[in-house]
Amino acid sequence: TTPLHSAARAAGKLYFGSATDNPELTDQPYVAILSQSSMFGQITPGNSMKWDATEPERGVFTFAAGDVIADLAASNGQLLRGHNCVWYNQLPSWVSSGGFDNATLTEIVATHCGTVVGHYAGQTYSWDIINEPFNDDGTWRSDVFYNTMGESFVPVALNAARAADPKTKLYINDYNIEGTGAKSTAMVNLVKSLKAQGVPIDGIGIQCHLIVGEVPSTLKENFEQFTALGVEIAITELDIRMTLPSTTALLAQQQADYETVISTCTEVEGCIGVTVWDYTDKYSWIPSTFPGQGAACPWDANLVTKPAYDGIVQGF
């Protein structure tokens, strides 16, 4: 069957890719599939470029694990998406409980984003600079950044990233912004306001952690309202989970759901690529985060393709 990155390219898209993570790279059959550049034209580090991994103590930067993923992408001839600079989760405790004032945290955010993006300058296609800034009702998430800096953490991070690597595309990434609704409207308003202020913003990352049988009916309308802002969009963390055990019927519905998501990206010109949040159920984050759910990826835990794989090919 058609390899997925080849199918994406034939549909005019830039890449089809996968997240991966350092511990999985000892699994040679896993790495062999991940490294097929006709299958995956892009990779994203699932954890090793996050704040807790890259600046565990203030001013102490550790890039060894992130570099492994960047080097793998380079040696496979794959694009790299950086992930992520500013997120409420997986923060080292010196940030999450730091008690910093606005001026100090501003300096900390600018230094963190500038140093991390600068370290990978020239190596990434794009970067999730801001991750998950909104609550589902479209209000700002109450985290250390918003509570200390207000909305200014967004331009501070984006400006530092642009200065550190003028070429990488700067994204804001979130979940539950697949269809229209309050959270998607908040994203539209944020991007409009950044553009009006001259703050660099190149893309919106739509995570797409979806549930079998529950793909929003307004995907296309929403994707189009995003690209109408003059930014590109990408599906950055696609998986479609089910309540276990998987059945033939659930796997068939999952195939249809993957096809719906991919075909929507195909139809919207500014949707430039798709990344699955790991390609195999063997390494999916879903079962540990959503107990009782899983089987969300296009390959099963034995590295065998599922009907979802064919749904992706059909969607392109």
* Among candidate residues 136, 178, 170, 176, the one with its CA nearest the CA of residue 265: 178
Binding-residue pattern over the window 284 to 313 for ligand XIL, x denoting contact by CB under 6 A: -x----------------------------
CB 312 within 8 A of CB 298: yes
155 near ligand XIL, judged by CB under 6 A: no
For residue 296, the minimal CB distance to ligand XIL (Å) is 11
What is the residue whose two structure tokens read 């919207």? Answer: 268
Closest-approach residue to ligand XIL (CB): 285
Residues near 88 by beta carbon (within 8 Å), at least 6 away in sequence: 132, 141, 143, 144, 145
Nearer residue to ligand XIL within complex by CB, 18 or 131: 131
CB 7 within 8 A of CB 312: yes
Q: Is 237 annotated as catalytic?
A: yes
Burial of 267 (0-12, 13-18, 19+ CB in 10 A): middle
47 near ligand XIL, judged by CB under 6 A: yes
Nearer residue to ligand XIL within complex by CB, 226 or 285: 285
**Exposure class string for 185-217: b at 16+ Cβ within 10 A, else e:** ebbbebbeebeeeebbbbbbbbbbbbbbeebbe
**Residue from the set 17, 46, 92, 273 that interacts with ligand XIL by CB under 6 A:** 46
**Residue from the set 48, 131, 263, 266 that interacts with ligand XIL by CB under 6 A:** 131
Nearer residue to ligand XIL within complex by CB, 46 or 311: 46
* # residues contacting ligand XIL (CB under 6 A): 6
* From 55, 178, 232, 237, the catalytic residue: 237
For residue 275, the minimal CB distance to ligand XIL (Å) is 11
Binding-residue pattern over the window 199 to 238 for ligand XIL, x denoting contact by CB under 6 A: --------x-----------------------------x-
Adjacent-strand bridge partners of 271: 233
Output the six-digit token pair for 89: 């989760």
For residue 288, the minimal CB distance to ligand XIL (Å) is 7
Report CA-CA distances (Å) from 259 to 18, 146, 298. 17, 37, 11
For residue 131, the minimal CB distance to ligand XIL (Å) is 5
Residues between 65 and 124 with contacts to ligand XIL, criterion CB under 6 A? none
Q: What are phi and psi of 277, to 5 degrees?
A: -90, 70
Residues near 160 by beta carbon (within 8 Å), at least 6 away in sequence: 109, 110, 111, 113, 114, 117
For residue 279, the minimal CB distance to ligand XIL (Å) is 13
For residue 278, the minimal CB distance to ligand XIL (Å) is 7
* Among candidate residues 208, 196, 214, the one with its CA nearest the CA of residue 250: 214
Residues between 256 and 285 with contacts to ligand XIL, criterion CB under 6 A? 285
Residues that bind ligand XIL (CB under 6 A): 46-47, 131, 207, 237, 285
Tell me the catalytic residues: 237
